[in-house]
């Protein structure tokens, strides 16, 4: 056979995997448009995809109801020791897990094609980029990888005959018997056979049994966060769960902001924000992941390792995010959303009533106000090219990356946390990131709606090693000689009055907070020192329509009693979760905060 590479180690690995999984055929992906259309035809012919008459070059997929999200309880960090995975990750001994998974992989691609996907996370040739090779039996994965990463021949060229790559093995885990087909159904395995496994020392990813999102598109959460976070620790850089945006002032000066928020805080909306303040421009560099390295000038440079958006559909509308809506006008894969009679998509919160009779994400007839459940699954998604986003920054693919001026943390917090406050130092910023949390809005299994779920740096599900060591890594980076560290801010768009009224209009009006942060980075706006950090001086943030001076005072005041409860919760319930390896420096910041609050 004529292979598109002479990389011996890669060819041997592909052969070994094919021998284990016994696919009917092996295909090397070239990343071409023709290949994408061939995959689309396979999906359409098998009945698992539906064409959308209203959106050029776009398809709808419906998954099985038991394969709709990342499976955190089946996600493993199989490091050599349990301590290296840490108390907040699932751990299995790597030898044992490999034995278990090899038994599952045996013959698992029977009746299917094994696709070899060479992909680059980050612009090909950038110093910050990394190459992965995903083996998969899912045409859906091939198509999504085409949009979310850079795929194909040019990646193999960059890899050469002995370049480094991260092997990513994936199977939906549903072999086909002779003459059997998927019958138009999304293939996957039962929950107890699903495994999303990471072998951090080997830089290796094995995924089995799920075809959905982060379980199957292995470049994203598995490589770009879990494995990359380990490499970043070892090599002195950062792999973070952060959007990257570019903000340009009326004077034409640009600054770059990276921001981490737990899920359901509108990260994609912030990345694509349309400012309400005249003359200011916000552009998108990335909406989910930032890889950041210090340059020889000491500045922290960030790239977006992805090439597309795998965004949550419900709630996305022309009001909440017009740039996302235009990103999905064409060339888009929709998963688990509603289908209209005229061949368009619809979801809850799209901004207009469902037009007539729909087919819901389960494939059943659905009518608004009449049918049970929702038309779209709450985790229904769009996969869209970054290059189709109207707000994408012209330099979003710069191989050097963009210099980060500010890092933002945030969460959905109806009380206590002010609209914005600023860290006094990098270490203090690390402390702020370590206490990030968000109000629980949808009923989870064991926790109450309205309580705070902590998700430090929004990395709890995505750090590939011990979170205590991860906090240490943040502190260590601040001590590198010659570095010019970004300023760190904590923002909260979600403050409410006691009567439930939103105190802050959010969305495009958040540009007023970004303007303030921009001015802070220029050393301009005035601040007031408080027990929690620096708060904007009066008048430094302009008032949106409907926000009074009194509202702004409320948004920016330090709620001493609320913060005391916050400290108590962190001390009793949050920090103890990280055990022995939690840095003493962070406990010291907690003690200092408490004594400052007691003196206030």
Q: Which residues bind ligand TSX (CB under 6 A)?
A: 264, 266, 269-270, 273, 315, 493-494, 502, 505-507, 510
Q: Is 265 a catalytic residue?
A: yes
535 interface partner picked from Mn ion, ligand TSX, none, CB below 5 to 8 A per type: none
Binding of Mn ion by 288 (CB under 5 A): yes
Long-range contacts formed by 152-155: CB under 8 A, 24+ apart: 152/29, 152/30, 152/31, 152/32, 152/35, 152/118, 153/4, 153/30, 153/31, 153/118, 154/31, 154/124, 155/31, 155/118, 155/119, 155/120, 155/124, 155/131
- Pick the stretch among 148-156, 286-294, 472-480, 534-542 that binds Mn ion (CB under 5 A): 286-294
> DSSP letters along 71-91, please?
-GGGEEE--SSHHHH-TTSB-
Closest distance to ligand TSX from the beta carbon of 289 (Å): 18
Tell me which of Mn ion, ligand TSX, none is bound by residue 270, counting a contact when its beta carbon lies within the kind-specific cut-off of 5 to 8 angstroms.
ligand TSX
In 3D space, the residue among 434, 514, 543 whose CA is nearest the CA of residue 271 turns out to be 514
265, 389, 463, 521: the catalytic one is 265
Give CA–CA dist 24/485, Å, rounded. 53
173 vs 437, which CB is nearer to Mn ion?
Answer: 437
Q: With respect to ligand TSX, which residue has the nearer C-beta, 185 or 264? A: 264
Contact 358, 364 (CB under 8 A): no
Residue 288's binding partner, choosing from Mn ion, ligand TSX, none, with beta-carbon cut-off 5 to 8 A by kind? Mn ion
Strand 358-359's sheet: what is its strand order? 345-346, 338-340, 358-359, 365-366
Give the residue at shortest CB distance from ligand TSX. 266
Nearest approach in angstroms of CB 517 to ligand TSX is 14
Give the separation between CA 564 and CA 597, rounded to whole angstroms. Answer: 7
Query: DSSP characters for 483-502?
Result: -BPPEEEEE-S--B-TTS-B
506 interface partner picked from ligand TSX, Mn ion, none, CB below 5 to 8 A per type: ligand TSX
Q: Which is nearer to ligand TSX, 436 or 567 (CB)?
A: 436
The partner residues of 340 in beta bridges, in order of sequence, read 358
Cβ 320 to ligand TSX, closest distance in Å? 6
- As a whole number of angstroms, the distance between CA 443 and CA 449 comes to 6
Nearer to ligand TSX, 213 or 266 (CB): 266
CA 168 to chain centre: 18
Token pair, residue 484, equals 């010019």
Our CB check for ligand TSX shows the closer of 248 and 317 to be 317
Q: How far is the CB of 270 from ligand TSX (least distance, A)?
A: 4
First to last CA, the chain: 75
170 touches 135 (CB < 8 A): yes
Token digits for 233? 């620790």
Identify the three-state secondary structure at position 42.
helix
CB 259 within 8 A of CB 243: yes
In angstroms, give the least distance from the CB of 290 to ligand TSX.
17
Angle (nearest 5°) at CA 133 between 127 and 139: 130
CA 169 – CA 563 distance, rounded (Å) = 46
Cβ distance to ligand TSX smaller for residue 370 or 545: 545
Q: Tell me the closest approach of the beta carbon of residue 441 to ligand TSX, in angstroms.
A: 8
Cβ distance to Mn ion smaller for residue 288 or 551: 288
Q: Could you tell me the smallest distance in angstroms from the CB atom of residue 229 to Mn ion?
A: 13
Per partner kind, with CB cut-offs from 5 to 8 A, the member of Mn ion, ligand TSX, none near residue 391 is none
What does 229 interact with, of ligand TSX, Mn ion, none (CB < 5 to 8 A by kind)?
none
Catalytic residues: 265
Which residues here bind Mn ion, judged by CB under 5 A? 288
């Amino acid at each position: 056979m004529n292979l598109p590479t002479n990389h011996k180690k890669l060819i041997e690995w592909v052969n070994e995997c094919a021998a284990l999984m016994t696919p009917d055929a092996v295909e090397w992906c070239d990343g071409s448009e023709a290949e994408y259309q061939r995959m689309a035809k396979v999906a359409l012919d098998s009945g698992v995809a539906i064409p959308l008459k209203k959106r050029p070059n776009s398809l709808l997929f419906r998954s099985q109801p038991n394969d709709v999200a990342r499976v955190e309880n089946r996600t493993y960090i199989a490091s050599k020791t349990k301590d290296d995975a840490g108390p907040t990750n699932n751990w299995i001994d790597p030898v044992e897990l490999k034995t278990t998974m090899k038994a599952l992989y045996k013959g698992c691609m029977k009746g299917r094609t094994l696709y070899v996907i060479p992909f680059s996370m980050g612009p090909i040739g950038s110093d910050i980029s990394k190459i992965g090779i995903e083996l998969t039996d899912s045409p859906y994965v091939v198509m999504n990888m085409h949009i979310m990463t850079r795929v194909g021949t040019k990646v193999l060229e960059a890899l050469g005959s002995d370049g480094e790559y991260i092997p990513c093995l994936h199977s939906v885990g549903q072999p086909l018997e002779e003459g059997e087909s998927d019958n138009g159904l999304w293939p996957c395995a039962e929950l107890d056979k699903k495994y999303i496994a990471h072998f951090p020392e080997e830089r290796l990813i094995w995924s089995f049994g799920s075809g959905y999102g982060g379980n199957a598109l292995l470049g994203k959460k598995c490589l770009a966060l879990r494995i990359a976070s380990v490499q970043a620790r070892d090599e002195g850089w950062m792999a973070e769960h952060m959007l990257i945006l570019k903000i340009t002032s009326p004077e034409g000066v640009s600054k770059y902001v990276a921001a981490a928020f737990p899920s359901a805080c509108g990260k994609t909306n912030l990345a694509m924000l349309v400012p309400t303040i005249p003359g200011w421009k916000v552009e998108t560099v990335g909406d989910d992941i930032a890889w950041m390295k210090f340059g020889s000038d000491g500045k922290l440079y960030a790239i977006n390792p992805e090439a597309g958006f795998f965004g949550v559909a419900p709630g996305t509308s022309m009001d909440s995010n017009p740039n996302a809506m235009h990103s999905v006008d064409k060339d888009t894969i929709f998963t688990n959303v509603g289908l209209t009679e005229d061949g368009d998509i619809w979801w809850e919160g799209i901004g207009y009533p469902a037009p007539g009779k729909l087919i819901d994400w389960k494939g059943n007839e659905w009518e608004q106000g009449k049918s049970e459940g929702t038309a779209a699954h709450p985790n229904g998604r769009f996969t869209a090219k970054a290059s189709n986003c109207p707000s994408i920054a012209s330099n979003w693919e710069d191989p050097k990356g963009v210099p980060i001026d500010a890092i933002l943390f945030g969460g959905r917090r109806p009380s206590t946390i002010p609209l914005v406050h600023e860290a006094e130092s990098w270490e203090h910023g690390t402390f702020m990131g370590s206490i990030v949390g968000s109000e629980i809005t949808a009923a989870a299994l064991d926790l109450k709606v309205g309580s705070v779920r902590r998700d430090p740096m929004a990395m709890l599900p995505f750090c590939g090693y011990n979170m205590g060591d991860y906090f240490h890594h943040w502190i260590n980076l601040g001590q590198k000689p010659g570095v010019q560290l970004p300023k760190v801010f904590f923002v909260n768009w979600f403050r409410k009055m006691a009567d439930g009224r939103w105190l802050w209009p959010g969305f495009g009006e958040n540009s007023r907070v970004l303007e303030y942060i921009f001015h802070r980075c220029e050393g301009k706006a005035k601040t007031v020192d408080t027990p929690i950090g620096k708060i904007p001086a009066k008048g430094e943030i302009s008032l949106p329509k409907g926000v009074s001076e009194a509202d702004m005072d409320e948004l920016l005041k330090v709620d001493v009693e609320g913060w005391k409860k916050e400290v108590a919760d962190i001390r009793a319930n949050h920090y103890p979760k990280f055990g022995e390896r939690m840095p003493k420096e962070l406990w010291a910041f907690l003690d200092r905060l408490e004594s400052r609050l007691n003196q206030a």
